[in-house]
Every structure is written in C-alpha cells, then in structure tokens.
Amino acid sequence: MVWQNLLAELEKKGNLRELTPVRRLGRGRLALPGKPDAPPLLDLSSNDYLAFAEHPRLIEQSRAFLEAAGSGAGAARLMSGDLDIFHALEDEVAALKDQEAALIFGSGYMANCGLIPALAGRHDVIFADRLDHASIYDGCRLAGARLIRFNHNDLDHLEDLLKKKRGKNRALIVVESLYSMDGDICPLAEIVRLKERYDCLLMVDEAHATGLYGPKGAGLVEEAGLAGRVDIVMGTFSKALGSYGAYVAGSSGLKDLLINRARSFIFSTALPPAVVGASLAAVRLVREEPGLRRELFAKVDLFKELLRRGGVPFLGTSQIIPVMVGKSDTAVKLAAELREDHHIFATAVRPPTVPEGTARLRFSITRNLSDAALEQTAATLVSLLQNQGINIT
C-alpha cells in the first residue's frame, strides 16, 4: 500500500511522528491512559504558560456562552454566524493591543494562511525570518508572492536583501516577536526602522508572547512601545491564553480588508461560543491580574538559575528554554530517558526543524509547575547531561 511505503520512508529518515494520548491531572501532571500504574508525567512542553486552560474564570465564561448561544456558531461570520460575542472579544483585543480594531480567526494557522495572501500577491515580495512558524510559510506560499528568507534575527542580512530585492510593488516583512524553537526575541525596534526606511508593511506574530509581556500583557510589541508602528499584529488564544483561536489587530481598514479578502475567515464556520467565552475571560484576566505573569517569570528565573548553577548550556530569553545537546539521536535518547525513567515530558527538537548539529531538548515553563517540580527537573537534567558528557561547564 502507498501509505506503508510513505511511512517506511519517514521511518528510515528517523522522522516518523506518533501520537501519545494523555490525560490531564492538573498542576502540570499528565497521566498516560495506556499505563494506569505509571507515575504521572510532569509536562514541560505545554504552551499553557499561565495555566489558564484550568482557570475557573475561563471555564465559567465558557460554560455561560455555551449555555446561552449553543455548542456551535452555526455559520461563517459573513452568514448568520456573526454572534455579538465575537465583537465583544474583538473590542477587548483591540483595547489590549492598543490598535483600532481586531478580527478573530479560527486558529493561528488559519489566520496566517488567510492574512498573508490578503496582503500580498503575485507581484509583491515577502521577507520572512528563517525561523518563522510553518503557518507563516504556508501563508506565503498561498499568497504566491516572491518569498525571500532572511537569516534568523539577522538585521544586516535583512537590510542587504531589502536593498537588492525590495522591488517597486508592495513588500511585507513577517517576523515573530518570540521564536518558539530558540526561545529568543525579535529586535522589533530595529525591524520597525527597516520597514520604515524601505517602505514595507510589517506583520508580527505574537503567538508565544500574547498575555505575557508588556505592561498590560499585550505582548512584546507593547513592551517595545511599538503598537503604533507595526501594521499587523497577529496572535493566538491557544497558548498563554489557554483557549483556542487567533486574532489579527491593526487599523479598521485592515480589518475591513481581511473581512473581504482573507479566505480562511470568509469560508470557515465561526468559532464555537464556548471557545469565545474562554478567550474573552482570558483577555480580561490578563488585564486584571498582572501578578499571574509575574508568578510565571519567577518560575522561569528559578529554572534558569538552577540550570546555570548546574552548568547546563541553554538558549533563550523567555519562558521557552532550549537545552542544547547537539546530535539528533542524543536529543531523542535523552527525551526518552527523561520520560521513561524520570517522568518528565519535554520535547526533542531536531533537524529539519532546527539547523543540523543544534538538536535540543525544549522546556517550556508554565505556572502549573511547582518550584519543587522545577528543582527536580533541573537536577535530573544536570545529572543526565553529565552522564552524556555534554559541555557541562
């Protein structure tokens, strides 16, 4: 069968992926339903940074909208699915992001696939960071624009390419404010200067920064004080906000254009009311309880300090902490050992997702993890890496 042949090819390259069913036990612990007697796994790969997915305010608001408006929106927004709750959420998001308007999409993936082709076409050019998310690259492909990739966070490279390849038509620069594989941050102020100098549109994907950074928790665009100088700010409700779906924030003209041109908005059913409820509660919680993100970053600081003391090499300036191990098979082996022997769930990230020779274990810190759990994880990691002879300093 064709499936078997294709799967065998993937397996031969070591790229076969499999699902692992889990059950959430709360406090960042996961049970494996297939192994009822095994101790719970500690989840260090979740994007639910603020532990909002289990927050009573989200659950309550979600239930209220479910009961008031039903389990599905019934139609796309341009049909009869334009429930008033979408407008309430859009107003909250626009206020949080200091933008004129916002538009909700079904998911971050859908937002990027709809948004980018609405802004750039065959005669235009898109400059994208090499580490941009797959959904951004898929959006660029759908746009049919000339795609030019610049080296990750490399401003000189970007400027050089702008000089040579900007052309006369529309040009769009697409970056993320916080990159999920390296856990590092985009030099937004410099990118804004370049976009202004070379007359480009700038789109910033804040999937991993929304809810966590800036005085109001809007994200890194807010933290850098650049809300008025970024044309398109996109982000998701699916990570720190503990819900699902995505938003695009910008001018009301941008919103009107997307309603008319973004195919993933036009031709897809509006999100279910329960999801909108959770997102609405999450955005309000971010505004009202800045202490929650302070709690998260205290944990991030603790974990990094423990790694530093243990001499563990890591990257990142955020809640995402990649520990560099080098070879792919070492990363895979260490992830398996962490999981099977130490009940710690972290992901091995390897090429082609990251450059050759930079395979890593990726840890993401959430408010669900107790300090004791973080101490135990760091100690385990230090001893595993020592056994592997990895550059412990």
Ligand X SMILES: *Cc1c(COP(=O)(O)O)cnc(C)c1O
Q: Which residues bind ligand X (CB under 6 A)?
A: 107-109, 112, 133, 135, 176, 180, 205, 207-208, 236, 238, 246
Q: Residue type for 12, please? A: K
Query: How, if at all, do strands 125-129 and 146-150 pair?
Result: parallel
The conformational region for residue 28 under phi > 0 = left, psi -120 to 50 = alpha, else beta, is left
In angstroms, the CA 86 to CA 90 distance is 6
Query: What is the DSSP-derived secondary structure letter of residue 393?
Result: -
- Write down the catalytic residue from 107, 135, 180, 238: 180
- Closest residue (Cβ) to ligand X? 108
3-state secondary structure of 234: strand
The residues that bridge with 227 in the sheet, in sequence order, are none
Min dist. Cβ of residue 248 to ligand X (A): 12
> How many angstroms from the chain centroid is the CA of residue 382?
27
Active-site residue (options: 239, 299, 304, 342): 239
Taking the least distance from each CB to ligand X, the nearer of 111 and 306 is 111
DSSP strands (E only) in 206-329: 232-236, 246-250, 320-326
First-residue to last-residue Cα distance in the chain: 51
CB of 105 to ligand X, least distance (A): 9
Does the N-terminal peptide bond of residue 33 adopt cis geometry, omega within 30 degrees of 0?
no
Is 71 annotated in the active site? no
Q: Which residues pair with 43 in a beta bridge?
A: 345
> Closest separation between CB of residue 136 and ligand X, Å?
7
Q: Can 208 be counted among the known catalytic residues?
A: yes
**Closer residue to ligand X (CB): 206 or 231:** 206
Nearer to ligand X, 181 or 226 (CB): 181
Beta bridge partners of residue 204, listed in sequence order: 175, 233
Active site residue 255: no
| Tokens, residue 280 | 């609405």
Of the pair 334, 349, the CB lying nearest ligand X is at: 349
Helix (H/G/I), strand (E/B), else coil: 157: helix
Based on CB atoms, which residue is closest to ligand X, 75 or 134? 134
Q: How far apart are CB 236 and ligand X at their closest, in Å?
A: 4
Compute the least distance from the CB of residue 153 to ligand X, in Å.
14
Q: Indicate the residue among 180 and 377 with the shorter CB distance to ligand X.
A: 180
Counted residue by residue, the chain has a size of: 393
SS3 for 193-260, per residue? HHHHHCCCEEEEECCCCCCCCCCCCCCHHHHCCCHHHCCEEEEECCCCCCCCCEEEEECHHHHHHHHH
The least distance separating ligand X from the CB of residue 235, rounded to whole angstroms, comes to: 8
Point out which residues pair with 248 in neighbouring strands.
Answer: 103, 234
Which 3 state secondary structure label does DSSP give 83? coil
Minimum distance between the CB of residue 104 and ligand X, rounded to whole angstroms? 11
Q: Which of 55, 208, 304, 342 is catalytic?
A: 208
In terms of CB distance, is 131 or 158 closer to ligand X? Answer: 131
Catalytic residues: 180, 208, 239
